[in-house]
């Protein structure tokens, strides 16, 4: 039994699929696929909820790695950030927004990240993915065993997609950087890579210059490891 006032013991709710309407919605093709389902919740005490419609997003590579690359020298610790083009941000003015915004900027500062491929299993698979993505996005060639865990996995947008982000980190030498191999798409092309002091990254999290949630989590976690406030 959970303790009053604690976060122990989440309620257990089993979600049943009553009907799958995906095919009729014509939304099950492409990199992202939407499933249109009719669901019902079954609670521990046997109570069954009313049926409700729910749309969710899927993709073949469900999980991702978030990669924290740390450089240490006599001046302190720095973390690798790269510019990331996020086209959906450019379309925000087309929606009814709760607060007015300046002209949309479709680029964010983020840590390197990438999708875990189907043949990358277990801890070894996550490390292999991190090594592959580090070469692709940063231009650093690292062995998979250079990466260690940086806290537990986290869900980024669980109301939309079941993706989990696995956080890994490695200590690197920025002077060993080559040219990022990239993935060949215009979305990834011409990204800027910078190693910035962790204290500056923390300040950017606090004032909104870093607006990507996985990057905020990563910066706060590595700041705790490095003793930066």
Contact 64, 130 (CB under 8 A): no
Contact 103, 125 (CB under 8 A): no
CATH level 3 topology of 64-226: Nucleoside Triphosphate Pyrophosphohydrolase (3.90.79)
Strand partners, 57: 34, 161
The percent of residues above 70 in pLDDT, for the chain, comes to 90
- For the stretch 152-171, pLDDT in tens is 999 999 999 999 999 999 99
Q: Domain segments of the chain: what residues?
A: 13-58, 64-226
6 pLDDT band, cuts 50/70/90, is very low
DSSP, residue by residue, 168-184: EEEE--GGG-------S
The percent of residues above 90 in pLDDT, for the chain, comes to 68
Question: Looking at residues 205-214, what average pLDDT do you find?
Answer: 94
**Does 131 score more than 80 pLDDT?**
yes
- For the stretch 31-76, pLDDT in tens is 888 888 999 999 999 999 999 999 999 999 999 999 999 999 998 9
Give the separation between CA 169 and CA 177, rounded to whole angstroms.
16
Predicted TM-score (pTM) of this structure? 0.87
Question: Looking at residues 192-203, what average pLDDT do you find?
Answer: 94
DSSP at 90: G
Output the pLDDT for position 12: 65
Output the pLDDT for position 65: 98
């Amino acid at each position: 039994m959970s303790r009053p006032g604690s976060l122990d013991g989440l309620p257990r709710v089993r979600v049943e699929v009553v009907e799958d309407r995906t095919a009729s919605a014509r939304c099950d093709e492409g990199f992202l696929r939407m499933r249109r389902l009719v669901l019902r919740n079954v609670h521990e005490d046997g109570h069954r909820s009313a049926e409700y419609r729910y749309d969710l997003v899927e993709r073949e590579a469900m999980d991702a790695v978030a990669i924290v690359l740390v450089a240490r020298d006599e001046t302190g610790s720095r973390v690798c950030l790269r510019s990331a083009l996020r086209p959906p941000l450019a379309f925000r003015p087309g929606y009814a927004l709760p607060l007015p915004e300046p002209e949309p900027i479709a680029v964010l500062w983020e840590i390197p990240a990438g999708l875990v491929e189907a043949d990358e299993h277990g801890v070894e698979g996550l490390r292999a993915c991190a090594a592959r993505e580090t070469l692709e996005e940063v231009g650093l060639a690292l062995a998979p065993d250079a990466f260690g865990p940086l806290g537990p996995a986290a869900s980024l947008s669980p109301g939309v997609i079941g993706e989990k982000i696995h956080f890994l980190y490695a200590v690197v030498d920025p002077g060993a950087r080559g040219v990022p191999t990239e993935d060949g798409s215009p979305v990834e092309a011409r990204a800027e890579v910078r190693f910035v002091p962790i204290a500056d990254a923390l300040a950017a999290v606090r004032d909104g210059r870093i607006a990507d949630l996985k990057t905020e989590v990563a910066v706060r976690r590595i700041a705790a490891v490095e003793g930066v406030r």
